[in-house]
Amino acid sequence: MMPEKGQPTEFAGDSSFEETPPLKSKRILTARGICLAIFLNIVYTLINAYLGLNFGMGMGFGIITVLVAYVLFNRRGEGSNRQEVTTAMVASTGFVMYYLLSLSIYIQAYVPGANLPWWLVPSQDVLLYGSILDPAWIVPVIFHFVFVIAGTLLGIVIALALSELVLARKKSVFPFYTASGVTIDTCFQSETESRFMFKWLGIGVLLTFIQGIINLLVEPFGYSATDWDFTPFLPTGFALGFMLNISLMAVSYIIDPKVSITLLFAGIITYLVLAPLLTVTGLFVPPPSPTGMDFYFDFLFNFSLSPALGMMLLSSFVVLGIHKLRARLKTKEEIDPEPKSEIRDSLGFGEYTQQFFRGLGKKPKLGVSALLLLAFFVILTVVVDLFSPYPFWISIVIALFLMIPVAVIDVYILIKFVGEAGLGMGIQRLAFYEVPLASVGLSGYLPFLAYPRLNPFATTDLLGNLKIGEITGTPKGAILKAQLLKILPGSITSIIFVLAAWYFVGFPSESFPAIGVLQSYAIVTLFATWGVGINLVTFLVGGLLVGVLAAFAPISSLGVALAMFLPPSYFIPFSFGGFIRIYSDRKLGKKWFQERGQIIAIGFIAGAAITQVIMAFL
């Protein structure tokens, strides 16, 4: 079990363990913490905006911030405490909002006939021949600022409505956030325990550094020390890869091993059995001479997306129905308690949906905030005539559909991904937003760029930070204030960075390839020109089949769904931690995981993160 609020973890067999003496000051949000957070927020936002624009990737810095804050704050005589470091870490997280702005710039500048409206992005002449200070930027900048922040605030409101239910679920461990929380807790324990964590952090740094150096040496020859793609060497229809990622393996040790082990076998079946069978029967045609990622994207959009969504959304209902049916056929003494525990420990879609609306209804401030933000997006949709040529009332229906049922499902799936598997997947969102818009006949870029939406990542981010608050004894209100504090500096930094990158460097260019923008453009173009749909048959079959299997066999429906969502290079490394966790639980006991194993894994995660940041600057 995780430590109680404000309590340190107790380590068996260590009679010398003592809590750090209590501090006279119990400061939580402090001036020095806010100053450090704003500075790091700007730095992290710049790093992730650069990585996101150029490579379509991002990095987390939570554990790094913990170590920086702990060292800086404890150099002064009065020291620090868990709560101050926690709020400083939460507020320092970068807030990146480059996606919509950078993509709008690219489309307006380079796509003939795009003709995006002036309130979204200035004209092609301003983009190609104007300056960063052109007055035509005033309204678009305001629009992007308000549009993104409104969606983020709505995501935060939803997190507050769901927090009690989600955090009560044992399987909602939010592994990366738990890593930060345990790091903070360990820093304020005895010197022995701090040294133990830093020792494994150092090992993580060393291994990741060696890995990076080897990569630098072999990359000029076309090789990689971290990613091996076997797909081009396999028969047509087969796909396989291996990604040697220390952080991923460490995360798979922290989460429920049932998820990671199920992911392994489901991944083998997906890419080495199912995909070849579909290829032979002609139901799936792989791209010519595919790499693993080429194969993955084609397979995802042509087949696996539909059944994977069915597994995520329907399987919990099937499991619940089967367990209730079995319960009726048995006496109370005969009922196996394990299925009940399974349902209670994990988050089901039915109870989640009830809490979603109940939480907003029970807390008037949250309910009113949600309605105001919802009204903002609906009014905006009508005012700018977003879904033209449809009349305003149909536009309202589309907006409400995207903001209510779609958002409910979207947030649920992301909570399952981030909370139970530690994976911030977003690819499934295409099926919830872009597919419905394409299905009703909308075309052109504008509807697919500026459709109304909440930010589900803001929901999972706040829930994860509240999980940290549980570990460190930080009040919910302080976590919320720190969460809100990071929005303004991060959003301003993001906008300035994108405009500066466009006018002073240019993208895409040799020095600024903007791969992330090009990938986003390809996906948006796919829907804006002809669109893709969801196969209802495979959606239902996937949900029913996995639901039945999960009810009668020790497998995770989430693990099966992830196998179809993730590239073929993920499922092997993601299983490593699961096997080690099973071994350590059997040989050393589950208590050892809480006292030592979890800290070792977190040390690896922290060490890998620190080294990756350093090497990104080199």
Query: How far is residue 32's CA from residue 34's CA, in Å, rounded to a whole number?
Result: 5
> Cα separation of 318 and 327, whole Å?
14
Give the phi and the psi of residue 544 in degrees, each rounded to 5. -70, -45
User: Nearest-CA neighbor of 121 among 129, 515, 107, 378?
Assistant: 107
Q: How far apart are CA 274 and CA 277, in angstroms?
A: 5
Q: What is the residue whose two structure tokens read 């907003």? A: 360
Q: What is the DSSP letter of 444?
A: S
User: Any idea what DSSP says for residue 9?
Assistant: P
Least confident window among 123-137, 159-173, 392-406, 453-467: 159-173
**Of the listed ranges 159-168, 249-258, 404-413, 442-451, the one predicted with least confidence:** 249-258
| Average pLDDT of span 298-305 | 83
Can you tell me the mean pLDDT for 537-551? 88
Residue 613's pLDDT band, with cuts at 50, 70 and 90, is low
CA nearest 269: which of 235, 304, 302, 297?
Answer: 304
Provide the pLDDT for residue 377.
95
Cα distance between residue 11 and residue 566, in whole Å: 37
Average pLDDT over residues 527-546: 79
Among the listed ranges 356-365, 506-515, 536-545, which one has the minimum average pLDDT value? 506-515
In angstroms, the CA 261 to CA 488 distance is 41
Contacts for 616 with CB less than 8 Å, ≥ 6 apart? 47, 51, 59
- Tokens, residue 566: 């993730």
Residue 184 burial (CB count, 10 A): 27
Report whether the peptide linkage leading into residue 391 is cis, meaning its omega lies within 30 degrees of zero: no
Task: Name the percent of the chain lying above pLDDT 70.
Answer: 87
Give mean pLDDT, residues 37-42: 91
pLDDT value, residue 101? 94
| 533: Cβ contacts below 8 Å, ≥ 6 apart | 435, 438, 439
User: What is the pLDDT averaged over residues 3-8?
Assistant: 34
**Which residue did the predictor score with more confidence, 515 or 403?**
403
Average pLDDT, the chain: 82
Does 39 score more than 60 pLDDT?
yes
228-256 burial: b if 16+ Cβ within 10 Å, else e = ebebeebeebbbbbbbbbbbbbbbbbbbb
179 backbone φψ class: left, alpha, beta (φ>0; ψ -120 to 50): alpha
Backbone angles phi, psi at 411, to 5 degrees: -65, -40
pLDDT, residue 218, reads 83
Residue 565 has pLDDT above 70, yes or no: yes
Q: Residue 340 has what pLDDT? A: 46
DSSP output for 124-164: HHHHHHS-TT-GGGHHHHHHHHHHHHHHHHHHHHHHHHHHH
- Name which of 87, 81, 39 is nearest 62 in CA terms: 87
pLDDT score of 283 more than 70:
yes
Q: Work out the percent of the chain whose per-residue pLDDT is above 90.
A: 31
Handedness of CA 460, 413, 51, 577 (dihedral sign): positive
Query: Do 240 and 296 meet the contact criterion of CB atoms below 8 Å apart?
Result: no
CA dihedral sign of residues 471, 477, 480, 482: negative
Cβ atoms 573, 339 nearer than 8 A: no
Top pLDDT among 603 and 22 is at 603
Taking the CA of residue 93 as centre, how many other CA atoms within 13 Å lie in the half-sphere pointing to its CB?
26
pLDDT at 121 over 80: yes
Residue 162 token pair: 């769901």
pLDDT, residue 24, reads: 41
Pairwise CA distance, residues 604 & 598, whole Å: 10
CA distances, 242 to each of 226, 237, 250 (Å): 8, 17, 16
DSSP string, 225-265: SSEEE-GGGSPTT---EEE--HHHHHHHHHS-HHHHHHHHH
Alpha helices (runs of H) in 74-137, residue ranges in sequence order: 82-92, 99-110, 124-129
383 SS3 class: helix
pLDDT digits (tens, 9 = 90+) for 127-164: 999 999 999 999 999 999 999 999 999 999 999 999 98
H-run or E-run covering 464: helix 456-472
> Which single residue is written with the structure tokens 């060292």?
71
130: buried, middle or exposed (CB in 10 Å: 19+, 13-18, 0-12)? middle
What's the Cα-to-Cα distance from 389 to each of 375, 378, 526, rounded to whole Å?
A: 21, 16, 20
pLDDT band at 533 (very low <50, low <70, confident <90, very high): low
* DSSP assignment letter at 335: S
Q: What are the structure tokens assigned to 39, written together?
A: 């500075």
Confidence tier at 375 by pLDDT (50, 70, 90): very high
d(CA 246, CA 402): 37
Residue 344 pLDDT > 70, yes or no?
no
Three-state secondary structure of 36-65: HHHHHHHHHHHHHHHHHHHHCCCCCCHHHH
Number of H helices, E strands in the chain: 30, 2
Mean pLDDT of 1-21: 34
Q: What is the pLDDT of residues 220-259, one digit of tens each?
A: 877 787 888 899 999 999 999 998 877 778 878 877 888 8
> Per-residue confidence at 317, pLDDT binned at 50, 70, 90?
confident
Reduced to 3 states, what is the DSSP secondary structure of residue 419? helix
Residue 59: per-residue pLDDT: 66
pLDDT at 120 over 70: yes
Q: Which helix (H) or strand (E) holds 278?
A: helix 275-281
**Kind of pairing between the strands at 241-243 and 227-229:** antiparallel
What average pLDDT score do residues 465-493 get?
93
Per-residue model confidence (pLDDT) at position 530: 65
Amino acid in position 363: K
Q: Which residues of 344-366 are buried (b: 16+ CB within 10 A; e: fewer)?
A: eebbbbebbeebbeebbeeeeeb
pLDDT for residue 342: 42
